[in-house]
Amino acid sequence: MTEVEVKKPQERLQERFTQVVNSLQRLHVIDESQGYSREPGSAQEQVLAELQQTVTELHSADIAFILEGLPLDERLTVWQLVRVESDGDILLEVSDAVRETLLADMDDHEIIAAAKELDVDELAELAPELPHDVVYELIEALDAQQRDRVRSALSYEEDQVGSIMDYEMVTVRDDVALEVVLRYLRRLKELPDHLDKLFVVDHEGYLKGVLPIKRLLVNDPEKKVAEIMADDPVTFHPDEDSADAAQAFERYDLISAPVIEKSGRLVGRLTIDEMVDVIREESEEEVLSRAGLREEEDIFASVWKSIANRWAWLAINLITAFVASRVIGLFEHSIEKLVALAALMPIVAGIGGNSGNQTITMIVRAMALEQLSTGNTNRLLRKELGVAFINGIIWGGVIGVVAWLLYDYFALGMVMIAAMTLNLLLAAMMGVLIPMTMVRLGRDPALGSSVLITAMTDSGGFFIFLGLATMFLL
Amino acid sequence: MTEVEVKKPQERLQERFTQVVNSLQRLHVIDESQGYSREPGSAQEQVLAELQQTVTELHSADIAFILEGLPLDERLTVWQLVRVESDGDILLEVSDAVRETLLADMDDHEIIAAAKELDVDELAELAPELPHDVVYELIEALDAQQRDRVRSALSYEEDQVGSIMDYEMVTVRDDVALEVVLRYLRRLKELPDHLDKLFVVDHEGYLKGVLPIKRLLVNDPEKKVAEIMADDPVTFHPDEDSADAAQAFERYDLISAPVIEKSGRLVGRLTIDEMVDVIREESEEEVLSRAGLREEEDIFASVWKSIANRWAWLAINLITAFVASRVIGLFEHSIEKLVALAALMPIVAGIGGNSGNQTITMIVRAMALEQLSTGNTNRLLRKELGVAFINGIIWGGVIGVVAWLLYDYFALGMVMIAAMTLNLLLAAMMGVLIPMTMVRLGRDPALGSSVLITAMTDSGGFFIFLGLATMFLL
């Protein structure tokens, strides 16, 4: 990767984005007035040349950013102006949804030309999205070691360390002097990115320690590597969960770390840039899955793609809403007699849902950070029930008084307080028990948590409120 | 910071956590059976000595992790066993809520002893949480330059680069040879963390470029710094938004970067570890504020603290729920005549809320990444309305048929379809317009987005469904 040349990064990028949008606008205007043309000598060609000039000067991550922010047709116009050498890098940077649209626009030759510029680990990252025969051809073109590495990377799950590690390790022996190491590095001409430590291995490739560049720089060049290396570094295994690895990177402020097999043999390297991506993706997934989106959506995706991305949770929600509706159906006679119940029941259900979501969000977060074991259930449950009880009395009291005054019916106000309190207690209990149960069953506690808790507090709230009303008011 | 000594980081940490919990358990059992005592010679003292042994071996980030996962009384037992030298680091690592509980347990002397171990930027980070006279005493103890730096850091907002930059820059002149630089570094004995580049400044402190350590290592030692430095590096300003800086770090895979004043004078340094914290905090805030929690909560916080953290959104929700209830109140006569309406109306409102939340989540995300300008409003609106219309016909159709069969009333089914479609269209429109308007007003589009959209789709859904029913069925 070349050195970046940007000054106030965020502002300059926004400027470039605006430039690109303006050029595309002008192109569109000319197309409208003079008819569509991309021929040499046309007015459009000039605009395109300008646009290409702008794009060529950009870092591939910036081009990726701009492509993601453009509607499909404009995106492809820009994509065709990008130089082949950058294609591979850009494909790695864009979101999955946008990558799909870019790949769909390329023929096999273009894809192969782009992918040839990539490192082995990058190729492995892209491979699952490429046509099979393209992958085959690309792998055939590699030497035996690289081919093994691609195959190995592809054998791990997307969320395992093995699939995101790179192979750009610089290794040294522990019996050489630092001076020798410095000479060795100088001979390499170019060093990999994120090189903050060298890996010290024995002649069979087993990791014996790491030599931080910092120590290499400050110590006497005559010292031996063995004297100054760190011999118990943080290491990872290829089958480890990459989210765990990212947490360790964050906790220990790592920049790079060796990946070793169970036997202790060095097989790869993890770097902070990959870990930052993992952290970002993880949090995105959490936000999206709470809202019932299956994956990050290309904001300019077609209507049909969007529907496919969103339908599953809408369907689940339809079922839970239907169940809640049948609960109300049980009490139709009560509502006929006292129609105020119909107006008041959504309040009980709504506040319960809000409160339950607060509880479950907090607990799912703590579980994601692995700070909460199922052993704490009782203590937490007591606390949440306490919060719910007090909130029930306070907010139930407020709304109970309002209901009493509004309908001039004291007993209705009392039922409201009781129902609010009971539904908040239900919300608290479910907010603790749902994620705890999910974890015991080996499931992800975040997935569907919001839908599940809302389903409970809706059906539960209607049942409690209408049930109490039927018992005490009719 | 010392070198970390952990092997399978996540597993080993969980082991230690379990060890700590077991020791605390044993302590509790002895207290119960033999009476509370912490005297020398007591059985408890042995357990505590063991516990201290375990804790002392841990990295401060690991101790922070364990403290966050313990209930208050046990947390303080462990906290009292931590060595004073680590106190400061640990206070920086724990969440705000947990830090508060730890500080509350320390007297001024202990706080001062802990804070004295910190760097200037770390001290500035902690200062707002400390008692005023403690801060005063700490600042008095600094030399003039450090005092200025602390004051300067405190003058920036929490979300500005100036408040999180550090001062551990290693600077060199551009007219010296690399050999000289290498000798200079060796004389420093210890280099700052995350040092991947040296900053090249002139004699007045203006930044002229950066010298990546990688280049220093591979180039001929006789070359001059000016020959191999990068003279247009990514730089930041102290008043820049730290979230913007974090995005730039992510995009350009930076490890450290210079912070310069408008004039070009070098004033500080940003490092990837701070940026990772920014990314993590940002995403946490998003998740929490959606659920209506003001800040990250200590999961073992007292009941009253939890109530204070959560009350605001519950109150807002109570108001919006009350409005929705009044909308239903308008149609009490219709419900009296056809009580099925009461059972069906939550379905219309619920699906609308779910769908609106999907739209708004996606748009708020795109806006946070600054990929979406208010100029795209029309295009997006058209797409979302398209998705809503099709979803309305499909899911409205499903539930309409169910309602028709259930109540044996064809027209009711038709009203159901129409109401579902209209409410989904309303949800889509509001899902696009609410965040767009927030941004035009200069507000954060995420804050309260979920409450606002749900309020619209609840009141709107009830109004549409009951209104249509009143017009066509009664």
B387 closest CB neighbour out of A249, A306, A328: A306
- What values do phi and psi take at A418, rounded to 5? -60, -45
Q: Distance, in angstroms, between A144 CA and closest chain B CA?
A: 29
A372 closest CB neighbour out of B69, B340, B402: B69
For residue B172, give the nearest of A217, A220, A219, A1 by alpha carbon.
A217
Using the Cβ of B332 and the Cβ atoms of chain A, whether some distance falls under 8 Å is answered with yes
Using the Cβ of B2 and the Cβ atoms of chain A, whether some distance falls under 8 Å is answered with no
Q: Distance, in angstroms, between A142 CA and closest chain B CA?
A: 27
- H or E element that contains B267: strand B266-271
Which residue in B172, B211, B218 has the most chain A C-beta atoms within 10 A of its own C-beta, making it the best mutation to test that interface? B218
Distances B373 to A17, A300, B469 between C-alpha atoms, Å: 10, 13, 39
Output the pLDDT for position B404.
Answer: 95
Distances B11 to A236, B3, B15, B18 between C-alpha atoms, Å: 11, 19, 6, 11
Q: Distance, in angstroms, between B49 CA and closest chain A CA?
A: 24
Using the Cβ of B262 and the Cβ atoms of chain A, whether some distance falls under 8 Å is answered with no
Distances B462 to A321, B344, B401 between C-alpha atoms, Å: 14, 10, 20
Mean pLDDT value across chain B: 89
Which tens digits make up the pLDDT trace of A318-375?
Answer: 999 999 999 999 999 999 999 999 999 999 999 999 999 889 888 887 787 776 766 6
SS3 content of chain B, % helix, strand, coil (to 5): 70, 5, 25
Cβ atoms of A179 and A221 closer than 8 Å: yes
- H or E element that contains B201: strand B197-201
Joined tokens for residue A111: 């894809």
Report d(CA B314, CA B307) in Å as an integer: 10
Domains and CATH numbers, chain B: 9-159 (1.25.60.10), 171-291 (3.10.580.10), 303-473 (1.10.357.20)
Report d(CA B290, CA B299) in Å as an integer: 18
Work out the percent of chain A whose per-residue pLDDT is above 90: 53
Which tens digits make up the pLDDT trace of B175-208?
Answer: 999 999 999 999 998 899 999 999 999 999 999 9
Q: Distance, in angstroms, between B273 CA and closest chain A CA?
A: 6
CB atoms within 10 A of CB A67: 26
Which of A72-86, A399-413, B11-25 shows the highest mean pLDDT? Answer: A399-413
B280 closest CB neighbour out of A62, A279, A332: A279
Residues on chain B touching A197 (C-beta within 8 angstroms): none
Q: Distance, in angstroms, between A107 CA and closest chain B CA?
A: 28
Using the Cβ of B321 and the Cβ atoms of chain A, whether some distance falls under 8 Å is answered with yes
Question: Could you give the count of Cα atoms lying within 13 Å of A14 in the half-sphere of its Cβ?
Answer: 12
* pLDDT surpasses 90 at B424: yes
Using the Cβ of A402 and the Cβ atoms of chain B, whether some distance falls under 8 Å is answered with yes
Which tens digits make up the pLDDT trace of B437-458?
Answer: 888 888 777 777 888 899 999 9
* pLDDT surpasses 70 at B1: no
Report d(CA A201, CA B7) in Å as an integer: 16
Joined tokens for residue A11: 């502002």
Asked if the Cβ–Cβ distance from B328 to A322 is below 8 Å, we say no
Which tens digits make up the pLDDT trace of B12-60?
Answer: 888 888 889 889 989 988 988 888 888 888 888 889 999 999 998 899 9
Here the ipTM equals: 0.83
Asked if the Cβ–Cβ distance from B218 to A186 is below 8 Å, we say yes
Asked if the Cβ–Cβ distance from B279 to A284 is below 8 Å, we say no
Which tens digits make up the pLDDT trace of B320-363?
Answer: 999 999 999 999 999 999 999 999 999 999 999 999 988 988 88
Report d(CA B37, CA B42) in Å as an integer: 7
Using the Cβ of B314 and the Cβ atoms of chain A, whether some distance falls under 8 Å is answered with yes
- What values do phi and psi take at B265, rounded to 5? -80, 135
Residue ranges in A83-131 assigned as alpha helix (H): 84-93, 96-104, 108-115, 120-126
Asked if the Cβ–Cβ distance from B217 to A59 is below 8 Å, we say no
Mean pLDDT value of segment B241-250: 92
